[in-house]
Amino acid sequence: MYNPEYTAQDGGGYFQIGEAVKSGMTKESAFRYVHDGRLIRVAHGVYQQEDAWPDPLYLLQLRNKKIVFSYETAFFLHGLSDREAKKPVVTVPRGYNAKHLTDTGVIVHTVMNKWFDIGITETETNAGNPVKVYDPERCICDLIRVRKRTDPQMFQTVVRTYFSAKEKDIPKLMKYAKELGQEEAVRQYAEVLL
């Protein structure tokens, strides 16, 4: 018999062979746990409990470690918009082969490598699982950059919600804006809405 240190409950109903091995479990014990627990294979090396709440964003993150949720998906996760994106929206660094993502309906944005890591944080999905997402300040900079291609109602809602929130961090917003080459545009909105 084995006593797993890492279980599906530790992973929000998902069990990852790689994480189990990192925690000290042998591969043989991990696969026995999968078999005995009647877990369902949902991706290479990723299994789900039958009664686990489906969490497509978390599963997408597990299968694609490099992605960062952005734009509409990030707005919703941060409470900047009450509209959940119809399709997940992610950002990847330039040069990342995202064909497997676009083939499954994921909306993919690319960004220069030097800007990719700016503002990455972690938040929880509706099911309570951790995912990588751009923080609200990075979201605002990205949104202002693509404002002419954005639904005007979505733009207004997100920008007004951010600037009226108590948790906003204007110094961080302006720092990101400068790093991302959006300083003048972001400053104009900040001056009007603050």
Please indicate, yes or no, whether residues 29 and 121 belong to a single structural domain of this protein. no
Highest mean pLDDT among 12-16, 23-27, 75-79: 75-79
Same domain, 102 and 30: no
Q: Is residue 1 part of a domain?
A: no
Judgement on whether residues 17 and 62 belong to the same structural domain of the protein: no
3-state secondary structure the chain: CCCCCCCHHHHCCEEEHHHHHHCCCCHHHHHHHHHHCCCEEEECCEEECCCCCCCHHHHHHHHCCCCEECHHHHHHHCCCCCCCCCCCEEEEECCCCCHHHHCCCCEEEEECHHHHCCCEEEEECCCCCEEEEECHHHHHHHHHHCHHHCCHHHHHHHHHHHHHCCCCCHHHHHHHHHHCCCHHHHHHHHHHHC
Domain with 130 in it:
56-193
Residues 42 and 16 in one domain: yes
Residues 189, 120, single domain; the answer is: yes
Tally of domains within the chain: 2
Residue 3 lies in a domain: no
96-139 tens-digit pLDDT: 999 999 999 999 999 999 999 999 999 999 988 899 999 999 99
pLDDT tens for 34-87 read: 888 878 888 888 888 888 778 899 999 988 999 999 999 999 999 999 999 999
Q: Is residue 2 part of a domain?
A: no
pTM of the entire structure?
0.86
